[in-house]
Amino acid sequence: MEVIRIISIALIGLIIIVLLKQYKPEFAIYISLLIGILILLLVMDRLSGIIQMIQSIANKSNINNEFISILLKITGIAFLSEFAISICKDSGEAAIANKIEIGTKIIIISISIPIISSLLEIILKILP
């Protein structure tokens, strides 16, 4: 099972980090980053399957492909920013993590403008 593989990799990485922090604490962040990337690579097949399924459903239901693309971009930005924020917090850089969080929230809002404006147009058409 993939879950067992992910947990095993994470626990092995954790043990390496704990042992490494005693002798070379500056290298612990590299192991953490490597483990994170490895886990992301393990779930990429699942992620591509999810994206294909969402696009298939969108095509069948005549949903605007631009909106689906925007939602996938927003989801990707959220996942990547959470990964970066976690790495920053693990390395003790909470201030940088907060800046990443603010920056990505602004980017997500700016990317979602077409969806927001479309919803507002629909609401205005419904209201008398």
pLDDT at 103 exceeding the cut of 80? yes
The torsion angle over the Cα atoms of residues 84, 14, 47 and 92, rounded to 10 degrees, is -10
N residues, the chain: 128
pLDDT tens digits for range 32-62: 889 989 998 998 888 888 888 888 888 888 7
Mean pLDDT over all residues of the chain?
89
pLDDT at 25 exceeding the cut of 90? no
Where are the strands (E) in 27-96, listed by range? none
Give the tokens for residue 19: 């042992």
Question: In this predicted structure, what is the pLDDT of residue 12?
Answer: 93
Between CA 19 and CA 99 the distance in angstroms is 30
Answer yes or no: pTM beyond 0.75.
yes
